[in-house]
Amino acid sequence: MHTDLEKKRYQNFDELYDYCYKVAGVVGPIMLKIFGSENTETQKHAVELGIAMQLTNILRDIKEDFGRGRIYLPKIRCGNSA
């Protein structure tokens, strides 16, 4: 959450994805360990689910975050511009 205090805008989706991984993507694998799962494929999906949930939270909170001076939506998209 330290990032939220300093970073106010994300340049591209790669930066946003990295943020989402750090705040939510890591929760899934931790929960799988608690539940005793060792399946590596399940771990991959757990990370993806956490990131998807964080992206959903970002969309839900656009107005509130903007009021706090934060914009999570990336300035530019990644990849080619086509």
Q: Among the residues of the chain, which ranges form H helices?
A: 2-6, 13-20, 27-35, 40-60, 62-67
pLDDT value for 48: 93
Show me where the domains of the chain are located: 2-67
pLDDT value for 8: 85
Report residue 3's pLDDT band, with 50, 70 and 90 as the boundaries.
confident
Place of tokens 């086509």: 82
Section 37-42 average pLDDT: 86
pLDDT at 80 over 80: no
